[in-house]
Every structure is written in C-alpha cells, then in structure tokens.
C-alpha cells in the first residue's frame, strides 16, 4: 500500500514537472539572436523555407535589433535559394534602399538583377523579366560605377538587350507570315532604331524590304533593298535582295 502511494505521488510529481516545463517553454519569448542563430543554422543545412520564417520573425518582432541588417539580407538570400524570386527581389532592393552606402550594396543590387535574370523567358514570350533585369543592372552601373560587378552587369545587360531584339524579330516574322506587314515593319524598325549592334540587323532590314514588297509599297521596297546591299554586302541574304531589286526594275 505504501509502495502504491509512493508510486502515485511520484507520477504526479513527474507530471507536474513536465507541465511546468511545457508552460515555461511557451512563455519564453525567443530573442533576436535566437531567431538569427536558428535561421542561420537551418539555412546552412538547406532548409530555406524555415530560414525565411526565422529571419522574417526577427524583422517583425525586433525592428530595432542590431541584427536587422543581417537578417534582411539573409531573408532575401533564403527566398532566392527557395526560388521565391519576387520576394527576394523586393528584399534585395529594400536592403539597397536602407543601406545604399554599405560595402555590399552593389553585390545586393546585382543579386536583385539576377532575381529577374534567372527567370528570362523564351524569345516568343513576354519579356517583362528581361526589361526588369536590364533596369536592375543599369541601376548598378549608374549607382556603383566602380563595382567589382561592373563587367558582369554590362555583359548581362547586353545579353538581355539582345534578347529583347530577338523578341522583336520573332514577333515581326510572325506578323510577316500572317500577312500583317505594317505591324511587322514596326517591329523591324524597333530593332533598327534601338539595337544598333545586334548581329541580325541585316535580317530585320531585309524583311522590312520584303514587307514593303508584299504590301506593294514598291518604291519603299526598292530603297530598303538598296540600303540593305550597301550596308550588308556580305550578308547571306544579299543574293535574295538583289533578286527582289531585279523584279522591281
């Protein structure tokens, strides 16, 4: 009997201790450092979603913390790793806005550009991300002209502009095939006006001439084909341009 009473008393004591522990754990509020250490730990093991949550909680609950700066960039990095590029882009730009003179501001702005560059779409699709990437990289070049990312930003800007020009050519050829020659000419003119160093300018000019020919604006077609031969004497399309001119005599 005494043993039974002792055993029951022991169980009650254990339950009381466990209950007390659980209550005290719930009552304990994590510090900014707790969130930061935990977020860093789970980030390093590849659990980017949990890292996001930790860094976001730090920012929400401790807006004046000395760790806010690190938490903000780590939040953006976690979002980038988790392919949440819109959120990453927003927080990268927020970092640059808050800390424009930070030694890493140029690197952060470059990552903002990469958040869009990573999502570039095929030439026949909407090029919104391409345009946004250009805006980010050009902002980097303007704001941080001595950045170690200058050459890479220039290279990616050129790549994006080539992509925009390729989009215009793709759409222009689509309109040409559909017989929408005026719309096609507008696309070819965009290439000729805004992309002077594109390798396929000869193709844009040639199809501009063909578009005029097909819509029976023969005087304009003659002028374009003559300009084409003068500007691109070694183009693979020269022979065909000469054939069109022969037809128009």
CATH 1.25.40.10 fits 84-165, yes or no: yes
pLDDT at 147: 98
Q: Region 7-16: what's the mean pLDDT?
A: 41
Q: Region 200-212: what's the mean pLDDT?
A: 98
Instruction: Assess whether pLDDT exceeds 50 at residue 9.
Output: no
User: Percentage of residues in the chain with pLDDT exceeding 90?
Assistant: 87
pLDDT at 5: 41
Instruction: Assess whether pLDDT exceeds 60 at residue 178.
Output: yes
Q: Mean pLDDT, the chain, as a whole number? A: 91
Instruction: Assess whether pLDDT exceeds 80 at residue 64.
Output: yes
* Region of poorest pLDDT, from 21-25, 154-158, 216-220: 21-25
* Region of poorest pLDDT, from 7-11, 77-81, 166-170: 7-11
| pLDDT tens readout for residues 116-126 | 999 999 999 99
Q: Do domains 29-82 and 84-165 have the same CATH topology?
A: yes
pLDDT at 160: 98
Per-domain residue ranges of the chain: 29-82, 84-165
- CA–CA separation, 240 vs 247, rounded Å? 11
| pLDDT tens readout for residues 43-58 | 999 999 999 999 999 9
pLDDT at 249: 86
CATH number of 29-82: 1.25.40
């Amino acid at each position: 009997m005494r043993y039974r009473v002792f055993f029951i008393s022991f169980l009650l004591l254990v339950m009381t201790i466990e209950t007390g522990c659980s209550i005290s754990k719930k009552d304990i509020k994590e510090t900014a450092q707790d969130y930061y250490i935990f977020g860093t730990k789970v980030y390093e093991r590849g659990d980017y979603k949990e890292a996001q949550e930790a860094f976001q909680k730090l920012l929400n609950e401790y807006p004046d913390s000395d760790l806010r700066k690190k938490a903000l960039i780590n939040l953006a990095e976690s979002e980038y790793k988790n392919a949440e590029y819109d959120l990453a882009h927003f927080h990268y730009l927020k970092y640059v806005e808050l800390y424009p003179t930070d030694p890493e501001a140029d690197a952060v702005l470059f990552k903002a550009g990469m958040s869009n560059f990573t999502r570039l779409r095929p030439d026949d699709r909407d090029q919104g991300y391409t345009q946004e990437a250009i805006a980010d990289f050009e902002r980097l070049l303007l704001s941080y002209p001595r950045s170690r990312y200058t050459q890479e930003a220039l290279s990616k800007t050129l790549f994006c502009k080539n992509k925009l020009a390729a989009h215009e050519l793709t759409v222009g050829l689509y309109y040409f095939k559909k017989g929408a020659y005026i719309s096609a000419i507008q696309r070819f003119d965009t290439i000729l006006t805004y992309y002077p160093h594109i390798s396929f300018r000869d193709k844009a000019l040639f199809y501009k001439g063909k578009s005029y020919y097909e819509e029976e604006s023969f005087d304009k077609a003659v002028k374009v084909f003559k300009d084409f031969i003068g500007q691109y004497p070694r183009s693979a399309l020269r022979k065909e341009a000469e054939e069109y001119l022969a037809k128009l005599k």
